[in-house]
């Protein structure tokens, strides 16, 4: 016998709708802000994945994994970033048949510009709208939700 799914009550429905709408609004809002430095939110995340990696270099497959992307999408983004001089391909030190993607000096400069925009956006969009107590309450809740979707991800403890 199939189990019955319990309907959402009003509070649960409001929370679910809020999370859904926030997730749909967030990327275009950040894309618009990052446009001033000629990046998208996904470009920024891709550059951040390199900046956070040892030696500022990763294989494309690792970049795709860290940014929750498909390999074909990441390949296209890397090609675009490479054309702009923000990343470069290099031989993988562990496997001569493979290549890694490295963050260039220009990529580090672009990332520094984008980080300033990201910090301002974090304050304007989220942090300045919450009290410190609310931040202390919401942060672990969101971390737990993210970790449930990606147990090996960046927010696991």
**Per-residue pLDDT tens listing for the chain (157 residues):** 567 888 999 999 999 999 999 999 999 999 999 999 999 999 999 999 999 998 889 999 999 999 999 999 999 999 999 999 999 998 887 777 778 999 999 999 999 999 999 999 999 999 999 999 999 999 999 999 999 998 887 766 5
Residue 63 in any domain: the answer is yes
Chain position carrying tokens 């702009």: 84
Supply 111's token pair.
Answer: 């990332």
* Domain span at 49: 38-149
Supply 84's token pair.
Answer: 């702009």
| C-alpha separations of 48 from 43, 57, 134 in Å | 9, 11, 27
> What CATH number does the domain containing 114 carry?
1.10.10.10
Enumerate the H helices of 35-130 as residue ranges.
41-51, 60-66, 71-83, 105-121
Other CB atoms within 10 A of residue 104 CB: 17
Burial-class residue 77 by CB neighbours within 10 Å (0-12, 13-18, 19+). Answer: buried
What is the distance between the alpha carbons of residues 155 and 142, in angstroms, rounded to a whole number? 9
Residue 117 in any domain: the answer is yes
How many domains does the chain fold into? 1
Q: What is the pTM of this model?
A: 0.88
């Amino acid at each position: 016998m199939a189990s019955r799914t319990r309907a959402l009550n009003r509070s649960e429905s409001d929370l679910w709708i809020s999370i859904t709408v926030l997730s749909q609004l967030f990327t275009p809002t950040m894309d618009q802000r990052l446009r001033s430095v000629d990046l998208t939110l996904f470009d920024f995340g891709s550059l951040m994945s390199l900046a956070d990696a040892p030696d500022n270099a990763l294989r494309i497959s690792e970049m795709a994994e860290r940014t929750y992307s498909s390999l074909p999408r990441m390949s296209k983004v890397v090609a675009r970033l490479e054309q702009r001089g923000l990343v470069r391909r290099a031989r993988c030190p562990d496997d001569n048949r493979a290549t890694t993607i490295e963050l260039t000096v220009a990529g580090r400069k672009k990332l520094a510009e984008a980080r300033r925009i990201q910090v301002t956006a974090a304050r304007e969009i989220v942090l300045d709208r919450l009290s410190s107590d609310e931040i202390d309450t919401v942060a672990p809740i969101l971390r737990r939700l993210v970790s449930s979707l990606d147990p090996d991800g960046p927010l696991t403890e």
